[in-house]
Structure 1
């Protein structure tokens, strides 16, 4: 079962990769980011698919989305100049709390 959790977290990280690649693709006008988007998207969904075979759907999906949101928001703030405010950080901490809660209550 631990492998399903590792695959799920990696799939959530790949969600961040495909979101960043989607932005970098320039609405699919740049080849390399577009190909990275497709690869990361397919890999992320495949990992989620594997995980839901071992983890309840609601828990798996919540963790997958939570990891993706956190990674994408962090990427946006660190690399793209998205604003870093106390309110945004507190909201992200609430997502962390909910994601950890889903894992703990599983």
Structure 2
């Protein structure tokens, strides 16, 4: 039985959600309480980027589920699905951090 590898598109989709999350980390300066960037770049844009990352991770998860073979050899697809779910969770955590640190100050 021949193992089926993920397509190049699916492999690219597995990496795409990481890029906005890294940009969120850089723009918020590690979720600093007083970032040096203007509010649009340190508060609003990171929120949008984390939501974009979450949506692209859901898209990658669905693409991996769609490409996964029905019988055998699905370990790589399961890894991509797990990675996509991890990105969704990380983007959700980043979104909650952005909202609580920058918008709901006590």
TM norm structure 2: 0.43
- Bigger fraction of residues in helix: 1
Rg larger in 1 or in 2?
A: 2
TM norm structure 1: 0.43
